[in-house]
A and B are shown apart, each in its own frame.
Chain A
Amino acid sequence: MIRLNRNDREGHGDHGDRNDAATRGGASVAESVRRASGDGAEEMKAGSVGRMDPICHWLGLLQRMLKLPADIQSAVVVELESHLREHVRDLMLEGLNEDQAMRRAIADLGDAAGLAASLRSAHRPHRRMLMHVALFAIAGSALGLSVFAIRGPAQSGPVAADTPPESSLLARTPVAPAGNSSGGQAGPAIAPRAGAAAGAGGASNLLAPAAESLDEAQLRLTNLLASRAAAEATSAAYARAARRYTTHEGETFTPESIAPIEGRVTVSLADVTLVEAANAIGKSINKPFYFHATAWGEFKDKRVTLELKDAGIDLTMRVLNDALSMHGGYALVARQLDGTIEVAPQMYFDKLERRLVSYNISALEDGDICMDELLPTITELVEPDAWREHGGESAMGKVLGNRLLIEAPPRMHARIAWVLRQLKESGSADTIRWHIDMPDCAPTPAPISAPAAPARIPGAVIVMADQDARIALAPELVVDSQGPLIADRVDLHPGLIAQTRSRANGTR
Chain B
Amino acid sequence: MDELLSRLPLREPTFFILLSLSPGPKHGYAILKEVESLSEGRVLLSTGTLYGAIKRLLDDGWIRRVDDPLPNGTDRERKAYALTEPGRRVLNAEIERLRKLVNVAQMQANEERV
Q: Do A and B bind each other?
A: no
Q: Which A residues form the contact surface with B (CB < 8 A)?
A: none
